[in-house]
Amino acid sequence: MNKKILLTGLPRSGKTTILRKVLNNISNKTGFITEEILEKGERTGFKIVTSKVQEAIIASTHFDTSPLKVSRYFVEVKGMDALLPSLLEYSDNDLLYIDEIGQMQLFSGKFKDFVQNYLNSGLPFLGTISKIYEDSFTKEILRREDVTVLEVTKDNREQVLKQATELAK
């Protein structure tokens, strides 16, 4: 079945944790997770880690030459853009996943094309999408009739995990 699930919620609500837990039970998958970069216990940036064991830093407090900025993070999408083509090589039985469709990633036109490719692939899809940032692109994704949106809160994490796990089967 062609299932498309998007987890949304406030930052630190548990979207990525739920995505990871669902992915742990799936062997055939292609996509990426966005991870925090910590220095001495303080978050200083974000990197993507792909299913093909590749990494790229997309935002850092240290990229102060970048004109793109979200909060205190300077955004650089070149590394992410370089990795995306390898993630377009997937099998017919893969679950496709993206963490996260958010403001930092959306500075990249290649990323937007990548998201559309995954959503239009005919394969099951599981992703996270920002609740605090929206633009015409994210609104269009959330309006798709083939997408189920599950909102994650502190109080419903376990319930959403069960729903996402069932839907991803």
Residue 104 has pLDDT above 70, yes or no: yes
Please name the residue that has the structure tokens 């419903």: 156
Q: The dihedral of CA 43, 114, 164, 124: what is its sign?
A: negative
Residue 1 has pLDDT above 60, yes or no: no
- Edge-first strand order for the sheet with 69-70 is 69-70, 73-75, 55-60, 42-50, 29-39, 95-101, 125-130, 4-9, 147-151
pTM attached to this predicted model: 0.93
Q: Which three-class secondary structure state does DSSP give residue 59?
A: strand
DSSP output for 121-153? SSS-EEEEEESS---HHHHHHHH-TTEEEEE--
Residue 2 has pLDDT above 70, yes or no: no
All residues at 6 or more sequence positions from 95 whose CB lies less than 8 Å from its CB, including other chains:
23, 26, 28, 29, 30, 31, 123, 124, 125, 126, 168
Q: Which residue ranges form the domains of the chain, and what is each CATH number?
A: 4-168 (3.40.50.300)
Q: What's the pLDDT tens digit per position in 13-64?
A: 999 999 999 999 899 999 999 999 999 999 999 999 999 999 999 999 998 8
Average pLDDT over residues 98-114: 97
pLDDT tier at 92, thresholds 50, 70, 90: very high
pLDDT of residue 5: 95
All residues at 6 or more sequence positions from 124 whose CB lies less than 8 Å from its CB, including other chains:
1, 2, 3, 4, 95, 96, 168
Residue 74 has pLDDT above 70, yes or no: yes
Q: What's the pLDDT tens digit per position in 140-167?
A: 999 999 999 999 999 999 999 999 988 7
pLDDT of residue 20: 95
